[in-house]
Structure 1
Amino acid sequence: MAKYRHRLPQLDGGVFLTDAGIETTLIFHDGQELPHFAAFHLLRDAEGTEALRRYFTRHARIARDNGMGFILESATWRSSPDWGEKLGYSPAQLDDVNRRAIGLMHALREEFETARSPMVISGCIGPRGDGYDPGRVMSAEEAQDYHSRQARIFAETEADLVTAITMTNVPEAIGITRAAQAEGMPVVISFTVETDGNLPTGQSLKEAIGAVDEATGKGPAYYMINCAHPSHFEGVLESEAWIQRLKGLRCNASRLSHAELDEAEELDDGDPVALGADYRALRARFPHINVLGGCCGTDHRHIEQICHACKAAA
C-alpha cells in the first residue's frame, strides 16, 4: 500500500532531495551499458539490480544523514511501450519491470527512512521520444493513451506519485497528467528547458505551466525544471503567481546546450560546489522551491553540495 499518496509531505515544506543524473552516472562513473539510455534494463538480472541499489543508496544516505526528505525516483524513465519494444520487452515484461523498479524503491525506503527523513516513492515516466527534442508532438489524447498503462501499473504498487521527467512539450504533459488522474495518482510535471529558459518547442515555462493547469484543472501537484543549468533559466523566473507552481529543480552540472551535450564525447560534470551555490541562490529568491536534485552530468557529489549549501542557508 502506498504510504504518502494522499498527502505528499514535500507539499508541506522542508527540503527534499532527489537523486542525480542516473544514466550519466551509471554509464560514465559505474561503467554500465545502458542501451537507449534505459536504466530499467539493469533490473533484468541480480548484478544490474545491485548496481541500481548502490546508486540509490549513495543518494538516500545523504538525505538521511542530513535530516532531509528524499524522493525515490524509480529507474523507469525509458520503460514505456516504444522504448521497451526496442529493447525486446513484451508488454507483460514491461509491466513486470515497472513493478520491480517500484519494489526496489520500497525496499530502500524500508531501509533508510527515518522520522526526520520521509522518503516518497515516485514512479518515473519519460517522454515517448527524446528528452531534448520534441520531434513529432502527440495530441494530449494520444499521449494519455500511450502513457496510461505505465501509470496504471504504478497505481497498483507502493508508488506515492507519478513524475514525468524531461517533458519537452505541453500536449504530452497534459496527456500524462490525465493518465495519472484517471488512476487516482498525484502527478508532477518536470519540463526540459533550453539555454533561453524556454521549452524545446519555444514555449515559455510560464505559458507551459498555465496551459497544463488550464487543461487539467491544475492537475499536477507541482512542476519542476530539469536538464538545464541554473544559468539557463534563472532569468525567466519571476515573482509572479505562476512561480508558486514551480517547486522542484533537477539541473545539469554543465552549462552546455543540449546540442553541445549530444555531441560531447566526454562527460561534463561541472563544479559541484558552484552548483550547490546556484541552488542556494535560487532558494533565496524562491524559498518555496524545495525539491532539489540533479540531471545530466551530476552525481552524488553534486547532491551532497546542494544539500550542504541549502542546509547552511536554512
Structure 2
Amino acid sequence: MRRLLPHETDQRFLVFAATGTDLIFNRGVELPGFASFPLVEDPEAQPIIVDQMRDLMKVAAEANLGCIIDTLTWMANRDRAAPLGYGDDRLADLNRKAVALMCSLRDEAERDDVLVALCIGPSRDAYARLAPMTVADARAYHAIQIGSVADAGIDLVNAYTFNQVEEAAGAVLAAKDCKVPIAVSFVVETDGRLDNGTGLEEAIDCVDDLTDGAAAYFMVNCAHPDHFSHVLTGHPRLKGIAVNASRCSHAELDNATELDDGDPKALGVEVARLVGKFPELSIVGGCCGSDMRHMREMAAGIKA
C-alpha cells in the first residue's frame, strides 16, 4: 500500500533525528564512534531501538499527528561502516534488517500516517571540511544503500545532515533511479548557511536544478531555530525542521562532555512559532540533545 507523504496531505508529522544522543544519554547505550547501526544486529539492543520509535509514535498519536519512523542507518554506508568491519553484503543485510524492524512497528500502529523512512547520511563526516563528491559519484554511491532496501517496504528515504549540494543531488538521483521518494535535509551552521557558505534556500534551488526537482521535499536539521529562523522566507520546497535542543555550534557540541538538552518548553514554543509563521512546515522534530520531552512540547504546539 502506498501511503501519502507529508507534502501530499494536510496532516502534520513528527520526526525524531536525535536517536544517537538519546541512546547514549537517556537509554544507557554505548555507541563506538557514534555509530548506532550495529545495534540492529544485537538481539539485546533491538527492543531498545524499537521502543525509541514506539515512544515517538505514542507522542504523535496522542496529538493526532502523523510520524515518520527512521531506520537506525544514518552511518550504514560503505565509508563509515568499513572501519567497523562491515563489508558490502553484511551492510546490505543490516539495512534490510533495520527496515524490517521499523516496518513491523508501522504495522503495529495500524495508521496510514505512520511512515517508514530509510535514514541515510553523507558518505563522510558531515562536519568535516572535505572536497565535495561529484553528482555522478554521489549518485552511484548512495544507490548502493538505497537500492539494498528499495523493495523492502520503505515509504521514503530521509537523507539527513547533508552539507554539500553535489552529494545531496546525487542522493536524490540515486533514489530516483531506485524509484523511491526522498527528502533531503541540510545541516546549517549558526549563521543559517551550509558550512561552505551556501544559503539554505540557495542549496535547495541548486539541488532542484541539478535533479529536475526530483526530491519529494527538503528539510533542515541539526541546528537550533536561533541558527536558521532568520533565513526562512517560506520557500515552498522546505517542508520540515528537526531542531537541536542546544544553541551551541557544532564545534562546541563536538567538544562537550555533557549533554546540553536546552529548554524543552521554550523549544516547543519556538517551533510552534515557526510553524505558525510558515505553515508549509508540516514536519517537525528534534535532533541532537532532544528527547521525548521536547517532542511532546513540539507536538502540543503544532496540534493547536
> 1:230-268: CA deviations, max 9, x gaps?
0100111114xxx11000100000000011111111000
Aligned residue for 1:105?
A: 102
Which residue of structure 2 lines up, in the alignment, with residue 245 of structure 1? 237
- Corresponding position of 2:36: 39
Whole-Å Cα distance in 1 between the matches of residues 181 and 16 of structure 2? 20
Gaps of 5+ in 1: none
Instruction: Pick the aligned partner of 1:206 from 197, 201, 207.
Output: 201
SS of aligned partner of 1:227: strand
Give the 5 Å matches for 1:1-314. 3-4=2-3, 7-114=4-111, 118-239=113-234, 243-312=235-304
Contact in 2 for aligned 1:20/1:303 (Cα 8 Å): no
CA distance in structure 2 between the partners assigned to 1:129 and 1:69 by the alignment: 31
Determine the C-alpha separation between the residues in 2 that align with 1:72 and 1:21. Answer: 12
Distance in structure 2 (CA, Å) of the matches to 1:133 and 1:112: 38
Cα deviations by residue, 1:36-70 (Å, 9 ceiling, x for unpaired): 22111101221111110111111111112221101
Count of aligned pairs between the two proteins = 304
**Quick one: distance in 2 between partners of 1:66 and 1:10?**
19
The alpha carbon displacement at 1:200 in A equals 1.0
Q: TM-score, normalised by structure 2?
A: 0.97
Which consecutive unaligned segments of at least 5 residues does structure 2 have? none
- Distance in 1 (CA, whole Å) between partners of 2:129 and 2:116 is 27
TM-score, normalised to structure 1, is: 0.94
Secondary structure (helix, strand or coil) at the match of 2:76 reads coil
Secondary structure (helix, strand or coil) at the match of 1:120 reads strand
Percent of aligned positions with the same letter in both sequences? 42
Distance 1:143 1:197 in 2: 24
Change (3 A) 1:175 1:20: closer
SS in 1 for 2:159: strand
- The Cα offsets for residues 65-90 of structure 1, whole Å up to 9 and x where unpaired, read as 22110101111100000112111112
| Kept after mapping to 2: 8 A contact 1:21/1:298 | yes
Q: Any conservation in 2 of the 1:133–1:200 contact (CA below 8 Å)? A: no
Residue type at the aligned position of 1:213? D
